[in-house]
Amino acid sequence: MSAKEFFELFTYTANWNLPLNLLFIGIAVIYLLLVGPMRHRFAGAEPVKESQKFFFLMGLIVYYFTLGSPLDLLAHELFSMHMLQMSLLYIVLPPLLLLGVPAWMFRPLIKIRWIRAIGRFFTRPLIILFVFNGLLSLYHFPYIFDAIMNSMLLHFVSHAILMFTALCMWWPIIAPVPELDRVKPLMKLAYIFANGILLTPACALIIFADHVLFDAYAKMSELAPVMNPIDDQQLGGIIMKIVQEVVYITAIGFVFVRWLREQRAKDKQELEAYFKQKNIPTPQE
């Protein structure tokens, strides 16, 4: 198969999951109704910024592209496409969803005792740092990986667990509920940096292995016969590492910019309080 034929897989409507497409369109419509005309029905529902809507809808697009496009088919044939799928699902998607869901949607869930207890435990930075990266690395141990690929049940359970831990891993960084944002900006930066380091050994093992690690991808794919399994495997490790680095660098920028805005707002409040205390007219901007 040529490169042209490979990319033409994405142009055939039969290769796209229509029922899943309709499901995600339905979720998008419900979301826009809840944050739009139906928002007044929820107590304490602040207006939702356009940027939040953009992030959530982008998250749905990424989610659908990952599971409903020909990428899902290719992920069963090429390890590199599997790693792209994993990177999108557990590194790119979670922050988009957390940025897109307003705090007033989370608050009713947080009030439920058992959800609050589970969330409090799994969003502790030091715990979820090792849990998420440990599970994602463990997933790619050859024996475990091949067992998961050969069982629909294990495949579903493992992906559900990884999605939950990925959302928990991103929670301390995004902090979608302001009153629960207990991690200082400097610690968030260190936390992101640590996440980048902990996944490096697994990526390095995949990139520098001199033999095929996974039986599921040991044979040359008929979809891309120009790429042998070793090259495909190495490309997969490179893809995950590149996606991880790009997203984490973006997250560092996000935390830093938010930190500057909060510090400026704090300085402004302190200055206004000082002027008020001294009966000095507040300078007009």
CB within 8 A of 41, min separation 6: which ones? none
Spell out the domain ranges in the chain: 3-267
Total-model pTM? 0.87
Residue 237 in contact with residue 206, Cβ under 8 Å? yes
Task: Answer whether residue 221 shows pLDDT above 70.
Answer: no
Helix (H) or strand (E) holding 73: helix 70-75
pLDDT digits over 82-120, tens only? 999 999 999 999 999 999 999 999 988 988 999 999 999
Give 249-266 as a DSSP string. HHHHHHHHHHHHHHHHHH
pLDDT digits over 48-75, tens only? 899 999 999 999 999 999 998 888 888 8
pLDDT band at 136 (very low <50, low <70, confident <90, very high): very high
Structure tokens at 92: 């790119």
As a whole number of angstroms, the distance between CA 204 and CA 213 comes to 13
More confident residue, 45 or 246: 246
